[in-house]
Structure 1
Amino acid sequence: MIKKLVSIVGARPQFVKAAAVSRAIARMPGLTEVMLHTGQHFDEDMSDVFFRELGIAPPHYQLNINGGRHGEMTGRMLIEIEAILVDEQPNIVLLYGDTNSTLAGALAASKLHLPIAHVEAGVRSFNRRMPEEINRILTDRVSTWLFCPTHAALTNLAHEGIASGVHHVGDVMYDAALDAVRLARVESRILRGLDLAPGGYSLATVHRPDNTDTREALARVLAYLQNAARERPIVLPLHPRTRAAAKRLGLTFDGLMVIPPVGYLDMAQLLENCATVFTDSGGVQKEAYFHRKPCITMRKETEWVETVDAGWNRLWGSDASSTTRRDIPEYGHGDAADRICAVLVGASD
């Protein structure tokens, strides 16, 4: 029997993960996929370009739900996703990461008694001020298959009493990064367009609410980056939330090379050729490691503790800095998506 999966995505990191898994689904006899895009990231720079560059087929459903408070957005998604799941009657609902789209999909599927597969399960920052942390915890609680990228994720789930259906498969972001860097070397022209030399610049991303919602927080981030830019130019692909916050709070990006959000291939090219990464993004922390670039995370905690333990990542304000760096084999060998599909094909209904 062919198993139908409804995959739910809504934000940039999910498009990247879905690209790797969707390619594996297409290669795997016994699985077929329906893609549902909530619209959480909706504009050209944050959504459409990723589908084109990563070779993802246009979604079967586009809900165009974005904006508003977390509860409002999640509630609107829940209503629409439930109706689609009732119509599609999938064998499996496939969810990624930790966004409002993830939580809405988890709630809708669980109330319809549909099995849930959660890619990137067990990841924890232990900061419940982050909406993503709540989304992760709740989604893991109702999932049938929990696909963990790291050993720390396995340990987190064990501490929470979750053992059934847990699989360490590696990180699908690594699968995607390996594909992207090969394409970017051929397709991307961003270094030439920005007149950047390999190793001659640093790369930064800023978008977390804790860093953008108050003037004090955003001013601190910008001052930190502006000071670091005295040593080496810093390229800042500017997230729409951060741009709007700076305008609202009367702050400027003086001293930084601000550019619009970039597609995944251009981001891969920037990462491969930068000297250092500054970020508050969970995904970019890992992408920095995939390209073997030292990273400073502008947060007090990280979900990806192994990047700190291995010496590639340092938390903002921490004096701890390893003098040695090692590889992180638990992220896998670029075959995490195939391993996920093999589990789902072999799973009993």
Structure 2
Amino acid sequence: MNITIVAGARPNFMKIAPIIEAIQNKKKDGVNINYRLVHTGQHYDKNLSDTFFDELNIPFPDNNLEVKSGTQAEQTAAIMIGFEKELEQNPCDLVMVVGDVTSTMACTIVAKKAHIKVAHVEAGIRSGDMKMPEEINRIVTDSLTDYFFTTSMYANENLTSLGIPKSNIFFVGNVMIDTLRRNETRLKKPALWKDLNLSNEKYLVMTLHRPSNVDEEYLLKKLVSQIVALAENYPIIFPVHPRTKKLLSGLSLNFKNLHYVNPLGYLEFNYLVKHALGVLTDSGGITEETSVMNVPCITLRDSTERPETCDIGTNVLVGNDSKKIEDAFKLLLSSSWKQGSIPELWDGHAAKRIINHLTAIYKL
């Protein structure tokens, strides 16, 4: 069996690492299973791509489509053209896509038009917000997928409500957490820890990149200014996404306790998260990691495709509502944050379950 695995953006790399390891282990056991890794190049900043291959011991991609930046349509088109050529030159039995980025959707469409089966890892999650490009990617991908590997029963319910046969849905857990579990002892203190004189639970981590937060200059300035004020004297470490960096220049958001830093590698970033007082983010994946590490998480979004991080984990949705943000900070700074727990099957073995299911499906 030959599987083509697609990676296109930072979160994808964390999800494919344990899957590749599980395939390699099966192969060592004599199972006829092989993979080819295709990097679309959707994220091309070294700190957002190459670093993760190095840190997570992922073999270098067999092919990099090098699509780089552009509009949603330009990226989608470039990925589809490049991936079509890839599949023509390197036929496979199954294309595996992960997450909900543009590469996920584009490569799914190409695979299905080439009459190749598709497996979607992290299938079935929904935010209900059609203004998010990722939501459209999820819907399109899941409308074409053959095998659905899910992170929660919420996702299962979303899929069955669409009429997808239960026999094609596999609740396996969360491969992001597989990677976190494998690397917990390898997390490393970044150089900025000493430079900024940080100490455990005496600082905050913030990430922002979604259009709803960063596209309007007035709203971005208001949001960041409020967060800085509410944080009192706690340092805020803000690894700046390349897209956000462009938008921030010229806004004069210069505060003593706000520290802009370059994007960090996986091991350094998660060290910061693990030891922070709390995290402010509009990322979905980070809310999963904070829940497992039991770190308070304030999510600057009105909706989430990962409701388990709110119902079970440490996450609270506040959007950009000033009152909700203020209330969340009061709980955080008074040590009154809710006690979270770890969602079902987020135990570090999701990738093994995925490959076990595939070997059973293909009778390997």
1:169 aligns to 2:183 (yes or no)? no
Alignment check: 8 A CA contact 2:43 2:68 kept: yes
Map of 1:254 onto structure 2: 255
Alignment check: 8 A CA contact 2:204 2:278 kept: yes
Alignment check: 8 A CA contact 2:205 2:278 kept: yes
**Paired amino acid for 1:314:** V
Q: Which stretch shows the higher mean deviation, 95-104 or 208-217? A: 208-217
1:1-349 → structure 2 map (5 Å cutoff):
3-29=1-27, 30-163=32-165, 164-185=167-188, 191-247=193-249, 250-255=251-256, 256-310=258-312, 312-316=314-318, 317=321, 318=324, 324-348=338-362
**Structure-1 separation of matches of 2:183 and 2:137:** 28
**Structure-2 separation of matches of 1:189 and 1:253:** 22
Alignment check: 8 A CA contact 1:306 1:328 kept: no
Q: What's the secondary structure of 2:49's corresponding residue?
A: helix
CA shift for structure 1 position 328: 2.9
**Structure-2 separation of matches of 1:236 and 1:246:** 12
**Paired amino acid for 1:146:** F
Alignment check: 8 A CA contact 1:174 1:331 kept: no
Cα shift readout 1:184-225 (whole Å, capped 9, x = no counterpart): 15x755533543111111111111111111113312321232
**Structure-2 separation of matches of 1:143 and 1:16:** 21
Gaps in structure 2 of 5+ consecutive residues: none
**Structure-2 separation of matches of 1:196 and 1:81:** 44
Cα shift readout 1:234-289 (whole Å, capped 9, x = no counterpart): 11111111111112x63424341111000000011111111101000001111111
**Structure-2 separation of matches of 1:285 and 1:348:** 34
**Structure-2 separation of matches of 1:338 and 1:331:** 12
Change (3 A) 1:224 1:331: farther
Q: CA RMSD in A?
A: 1.8
Cα shift readout 1:46-101 (whole Å, capped 9, x = no counterpart): 11111100001110101111211101110111011011112111111010100111
**Structure-1 separation of matches of 2:226 and 2:122:** 31
Q: What's the secondary structure of 2:344's corresponding residue?
A: helix
Q: What's the secondary structure of 1:329's corresponding residue?
A: coil
**Structure-2 separation of matches of 1:121 and 1:314:** 23
Q: Which stretch shows the higher mean deviation, 254-263 or 112-121? A: 254-263
**Paired amino acid for 1:336:** A
Poorly superposed stretches of 4+, deviation over 3 Å: 187-190, 317-324
**Structure-2 separation of matches of 1:243 and 1:334:** 34
Q: What's the secondary structure of 1:173's corresponding residue?
A: helix
**Paired amino acid for 2:253:** T
**Structure-2 separation of matches of 1:190 and 1:335:** 33
Alignment check: 8 A CA contact 1:211 1:218 kept: yes
CA shift for structure 1 position 332: 2.6
**Structure-2 separation of matches of 1:330 and 1:15:** 23
Alignment check: 8 A CA contact 1:122 1:154 kept: yes
Alignment check: 8 A CA contact 1:190 1:269 kept: no
Alignment check: 8 A CA contact 2:94 2:116 kept: yes
CA shift for structure 1 position 326: 3.7
User: TM-score, normalization: structure 2?
Assistant: 0.90
Change (3 A) 1:25 1:192: farther
Identity %: 36
Q: What's the secondary structure of 1:52's corresponding residue?
A: helix
